[in-house]
Homo-oligomer: A and B are copies of this chain.
Amino acid sequence: MSIFAAGLGLQTTDGNGNVLEVYFHKAFVRTEQNASAVDDFVKIAGWFYSGGNKTICLAPYQIDKLIEAFSEHTGTVTFLEGARDAHERMVVTILETDEAPQSVAEAYLKLTLLSSRAIQPHGQSLDGIFAVLPNVAWTNEGVVSLDELPARQLSARANGGVLHVYAVDKFPPMADHVVPSGVRIGDASRVRFGAHLGEGTTVMHEGFVNFNAGTKGAGMIEGRISAGVMVGANSDLGGGCSTMGTLSGGNNVVISVGEECLIGANAGTGIPLGDRCTIEAGLYLTAGSKVSILDENGVETSNVKASELAGKSDLLFRRNSQSGKIECVTNKTAIQLNEELHANNWQTQSTCKKVP
């Protein structure tokens, strides 16, 4: 039987047995390369598995069998051995097909696939994920159900400590589950689990990345990547800049940013950008804005809605500081300006191209 994806995790439940979160230490999509290992895994881990999308608790003898079968997969063995003492919380989730997640475990498996780069944003179904995920408190003692929070808080206080609640949300911060290779994150509370950060991405303290969104490659992210938005390699999102989310004002158009773009500080875009585009600091380009297209002599050649420029490359957008008009410079002029702007932003370093 062919499957779509699977994972080995540890679940956390509340006092009533409701699953609050599943930590998948190992999660994978079945590919040509790993097909035989995955099939072995399903055969053993899924002892009672007979198809469909299922989450199964593992018995100790299955754990031992898996350790034997995967003796050559160091990571899997490490997990199995490390989690053996917590075997009553150990689960395997097997997804035969990529359908909308139906359980907390299925949702967390799919978020893990995103953040560990096993799958790209928009590469799988996340329909209805908000209805599946419980709203919980993320604390220094781990996940806590909101019903049990006051009693836990009291208990911590009575013992002279404090239960520090760092979020009340359906999604934990990504870094408590997955830290992919080659990234820096100034404030981990601002990258939601399910974000996809490409190798070489730095998310500065003012940056933000929602789930099912992120960067394809390297990038300097000091602005906000809304749910569903993808940013191409080597682009620079300036401090506090905004990308309109598909859920919030972006209508039906999925916003995206191409490669080698620069969105200036406190700027924003309501249209998808092609490659090598620049938006001047402080300018918010909404889809409905009228834009004057200038030739290389600065003469207006046409006047269009910003939405008509969606996805086009080599554009520089600015607001004329004397007339208040939103202008767009194209072609060579734009490319040169873009290169100029980038020249100061990127430095050659082993771990990061730009170094704020």
Contact = CB atoms under 8 A, between A and B. Distances in A.
A158 B206 contact: no
B158 A82 contact: yes
Nearest to A246: B344
A254 interface: no
Interface string A280-320: 11111010011110000000000100000000000000011
Interface in A147-161: 149-151, 153-155, 157-161
A282 B281 contact: no
A249 B240 contact: no
Contacts of A292: 322
A175 interface: yes
A190 interface: yes
A131 interface: yes
A351 interface: yes
A349 interface: yes
A321 B290 contact: yes
A283 B282 contact: yes
Contacts of A345: 247-249
A150 B85 CA distance: 17
This chain: copies in complex: 3
Contacts of A354: 247-248
Nearest to A137: B179
Contacts of A266: 240-242, 266-268, 284
B149 A344 contact: no
Contacts of A205: 189-190, 192, 208
A146 B179 contact: yes
Contacts of A118: none
Interface in A169-189: 169-170, 173, 175-176, 179, 181, 183-189
21 contacts: A23-B153, A25-B157, A82-B155, A86-B160, A130-B352, A135-B184, A146-B179, A162-B176, A164-B166, A168-B188, A187-B189, A189-B205, A206-B208, A227-B356, A241-B266, A245-B356, A250-B344, A268-B282, A282-B282, A282-B286, A289-B321
